[in-house]
Every structure is written in C-alpha cells, then in structure tokens.
C-alpha cells in the first residue's frame, strides 16, 4: 500500500527530487510508528486546507507559510487527498511522531519538512499540545514553526522571509515581532540569546509581519550587538529606543512634509503642529456646520448617506490619497498664510461662489488649485454669505475665528523657519 500510494502522491504534485526523497523517508518513518491521533484527523484536514502548498514542500519555509491560505480544491484532489488517503495512521503519525520525524529530518536537511509541522502545529498547538511540542522540538526550525503557527492563526500572508535566513539559529518565541508596535504585551526580560543580524533583518520586516505572540515564554530574547554593552538595562533601553524610532518612522509617513526632518525633536514639533492644525480645522468646520445646517433638508439621512458614499468613493478612493490631499492642503495652508492677509481676502473676493471650487474639488482630487480654495472658501464664506442673508454679527464671528486661525498659523510658520 505504501508503494502504491506514494508514487501517486509523488507524481501528482510538483515536487522536486529532494522533496520526494524527503517524503519517501517520512513515509517510511510513519509506517513504522503506529500512534493513533484520531482526534486530529478532522483538524488536520482542515489544516491542510489552510496550508495549501501548491508545490508541496518548498525549499523556503517562509514562502511556504506565506502562501495564500485559500484552499485549493485542485490541489486537494491531487496531492493532499492522497496524503489523506494514506489513512488515519498517517495523520496520526504526522501528529505524534511526526514531530520526531520532522526533527530528525530537519537535522539532516536544511529544508524543513517541518513544512508539514506548521500545518500540524497550527491546529495541534491550538489544542494545547504545546508542552509536548516544545519538548520534541529541538531545532530552530521547530521554533520557527511555533511562530508560523501563530502566523497561520493570525492569517497573515505577509512574508516572514527575513526569519528564514536564520532558521537554525532562531530565537525561541518572536522577539522581533514582539517588538513590533502591534504587540500589546511585552513583558521584557532581556537575556542574551541569538543573532543580532537576524534581529536587524527581522526589524526591517517588522512593519510587514504581524504580531506573533509568544505563547510559552512571555519574554523577549534580545542579543547584544557586536561592540555594544551587554548590560541588561542597556539592552532593554535599546529595545525601547528602537520601538520609539519605529513609531516615529510610522508617524513620519502620516504627517505630511516630514521626509526631510531627521531628528526626534523636529519630528515631534511637526507632529504637534499637525495635530493642532487638525484640531483647529475640526473646530472651524464645526462652526461652519453649526451655521450652515438649518438651511438644508435633512429629512432622509440614509438617503443622504447613500448618495454621499458613492461621491466619497470617487472623491476619496483611498485613505492614502485623501490623506495626501489633506497633506497638500496643510502645506498649501501654510504657504497661503505666508501671504498678506489682504491678499487672501482679495483672492477670496475673486472666488465669487463656493460652487466652482467645490466642483473643481469633486472632479479632480489632485488639482492643487482647488485645494487652497478649500481653505480659502471658508474665508470666502465670511465675505460672501453676509451679502446674501447673514447677520453682521455672524460675519464678525467668522472673521474672528478665521483670524485666530491665521495668527496661529503664522506663528507656526515662524517656528518652522
């Protein structure tokens, strides 16, 4: 039965010679051991649906894990169904002694047949077999499986390739991922373990890889880099500093015009200014809304929402793009404030109606001409509306608010220069 099914499997999938050898070897191992893990059968079939590796055992564990988790029925029919058809004992062996097999094989071959291990680990560990697993796993490959299990759980399809380089020297748990800003719990007790290079490379991929929380040990292993202090305090300090710098980089992407600023202090200044300007905008817009609202028909908000959403979809197709618009508006705002306030007023005076800027805004998001008008129209508001229906008091109100905004913005500019 072995021979009958094995060639079938080998021929059906696109496996390399090495993989076939490995599979054959594993086969033989499994046939020897008769541990029954019936309960995991159903889980494993689900797991195998999760872990659809089209080429079977890839050379790169990372790529294996980062394959799409969508089930591939064709593959199921070809390759894996044969594996399933091997019988429950096959799976049982995968489960129990498969770990030994994996370890044994991993010690011989660099490419982990522990490719299967993630599949098994994913569900197996979920069932609480971690103690057993941790005992049996004695290679870095297996530790990687721990991590990959979590990746699987999180359904993360991003590349964990950086970690593949250091398969053999993997740190237990996920220190780099623990350091990522996504992690919420970091019980740091730094102790020296592993590669500094891997730490670096993993940190670069930190933004891509999601959190894989450490299940068994809740602390992070950190290694001192070459030529640096090995004190535990300084290690913890360094980890913290790196976290902060990573978050500053993320903020640099959010806040517009921060690409040239390199220092933490300058960045913080920019962030503070940006947050202040956003809050001021909110205040101003709320005042505008308070003044404008009652004029319009607000009967059907659902209808309005439905009508507005498509418009939004066209106008703000991507948050990145819209934030870009806001960013440009923010920069334009600053530039505009450089001019005399009278010039502003005259510019507004030229914009007779608010409609043309609005239409321009709706048509093309990326037209810089309309963006300053977006800000200017709020000042236009003060000059146009009173001519139609507004009170002089309201006009004064708007003027005061707007002037305050301009004064603060000019201060802001002075700070920048």
Partner 1 sequence: MNPDHHSSLNPSSSLKSRFTKTFLRSLIKINKQRPFPYCPREIFQRCHRVKTAADKSLARAAGSRRVWSRAMLCKIRNRSLRRGCQQRPSVRRIIIGYQTTKKGYCLQKKMSDDQEVGTDQASKLRKLVPGGEAMDLCSLLDEAAHYIKCLNTQVQVMRRIADIHSS
> Applying CB under 8 A, which of residues 1, 4, 17, 296 lies at the interface with partner 1?
296
> Applying CB under 8 A, which of residues 374, 376, 409, 412 lies at the interface with partner 1?
374
CB of 36 to partner 1, least distance (A): 43
> Applying CB under 8 A, which of residues 189, 200, 228, 276 lies at the interface with partner 1?
276
Residue 62 exposure: Cα atoms within 13 Å on the Cβ side = 14
State how far Cα 98 lies from the chain centre: 33
279 binds partner 1 (CB under 8 A): yes
Nearer to partner 1, 187 or 304 (CB): 304
> Applying CB under 8 A, which of residues 104, 358, 383, 386 lies at the interface with partner 1?
358
Nearer to partner 1, 216 or 363 (CB): 363
181 binds partner 1 (CB under 8 A): yes
Q: Draw the binding track, 183-222, toward partner 1 (x: CB under 8 A; -: no contact).
A: ----------------------------------------
Rounded to whole angstroms, the Cα distance separating 354 from 377 reads 6
Rounded to whole angstroms, the Cα distance separating 34 from 51 reads 24
Length in residues, the chain: 417
Of the candidates 176, 223, 165, the one whose C-alpha atom is nearest the C-alpha of residue 195 is 223
Nearer to partner 1, 63 or 246 (CB): 246
Contact set for partner 1, span 321-340 (CB under 8 A): 322-323, 326
Rounded to whole angstroms, the Cα distance separating 228 from 234 reads 9
- Is 237 in contact with 243 (CB distance < 8 Å)? no
Nearer to partner 1, 21 or 189 (CB): 189
404 binds partner 1 (CB under 8 A): no
- Is 5 in contact with 82 (CB distance < 8 Å)? yes
- Is 370 in contact with 317 (CB distance < 8 Å)? no
Q: Draw the binding track, 253-272, toward partner 1 (x: CB under 8 A; -: no contact).
A: -xx--------xx--xx-xx
Rounded to whole angstroms, the Cα distance separating 273 from 415 reads 10
Rounded to whole angstroms, the Cα distance separating 30 from 192 reads 38
Nearer to partner 1, 66 or 180 (CB): 180
Rounded to whole angstroms, the Cα distance separating 343 from 322 reads 28
Rounded to whole angstroms, the Cα distance separating 325 from 317 reads 11
User: Would you tell me which residues interact with partner 1 (CB under 8 A)?
Assistant: 181, 240, 243-244, 247-248, 250-251, 254-255, 264-265, 268-269, 271-272, 274-276, 278-279, 281-283, 285-296, 298, 301, 304-306, 308-319, 322-323, 326, 354-355, 358, 361, 374, 381, 391, 393-394, 396-397
């Amino acid at each position: 039965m072995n021979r009958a099914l094995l060639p079938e499997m080998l021929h059906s999938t696109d496996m390399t010679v090495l993989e076939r050898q490995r599979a054959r070897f594993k086969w033989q191992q499994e046939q020897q051991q008769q541990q029954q893990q019936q309960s995991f059968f159903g889980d494993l079939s689900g797991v195998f649906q999760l872990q659809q590796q089209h080429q079977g055992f890839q050379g790169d564990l990372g790529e294996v894990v980062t394959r799409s988790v969508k089930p591939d029925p064709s593959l199921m029919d070809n390759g894996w169904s044969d594996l399933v058809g091997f019988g429950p004992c096959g799976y049982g062996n995968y489960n129990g002694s498969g770990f030994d097999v994996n370890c044994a094989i991993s010690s011989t071959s660099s490419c982990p047949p522990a490719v299967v291990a993630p599949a098994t680990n994913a569900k197996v560990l979920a069932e609480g077999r971690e103690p057993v697993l941790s005992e049996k796993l004695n290679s870095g490959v297996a530790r990687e499986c721990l991590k990959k299990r979590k990746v699987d759980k999180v359904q993360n399809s991003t590349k964990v390739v950086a970690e593949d380089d250091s398969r053999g020297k993997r740190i237990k748990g996920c220190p780099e991922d623990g350091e990522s800003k996504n992690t919420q719990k970091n019980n740091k007790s730094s102790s020296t373990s592993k590669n500094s290079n891997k730490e670096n490379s993993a940190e670069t991929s930190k933004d891509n890889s999601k959190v894989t929380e450490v299940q068994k040990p809740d602390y992070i292993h950190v290694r001192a880099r070459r030529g640096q202090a090995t004190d535990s305090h300084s290690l913890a300090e360094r980890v913290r500093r790196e976290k902060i710098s990573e978050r500053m980089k993320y903020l640099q992407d959010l806040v517009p015009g921060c690409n040239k600023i390199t220092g933490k202090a300058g960045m913080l200044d920019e962030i503070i200014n940006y947050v202040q300007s956003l809050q001021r905008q909110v205040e101003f817009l709320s005042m505008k809304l308070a003044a404008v609202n009652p004029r319009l028909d607000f009967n059907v908000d659902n209808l309005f929402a439905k009508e507005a959403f498509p418009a939004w979809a066209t106008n703000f197709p991507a948050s990145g793009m819209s934030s870009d618009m806001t960013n440009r508006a923010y920069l334009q705002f600053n530039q505009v404030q450089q001019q005399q306030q009278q010039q502003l007023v005259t510019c507004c005076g030229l914009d007779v109606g608010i409609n043309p800027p609005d239409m321009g805004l709706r048509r093309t998001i990326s037209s810089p001409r309309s963006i300053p008008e977006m800000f200017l129209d709020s000042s236009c508001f003060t000059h146009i509306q009173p001519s139609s229906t507004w009170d002089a008091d309201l006009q004064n109100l708007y003027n005061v608010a707007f002037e305050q905004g301009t004064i603060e913005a000019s201060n802001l500019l002075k700070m920048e220069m």
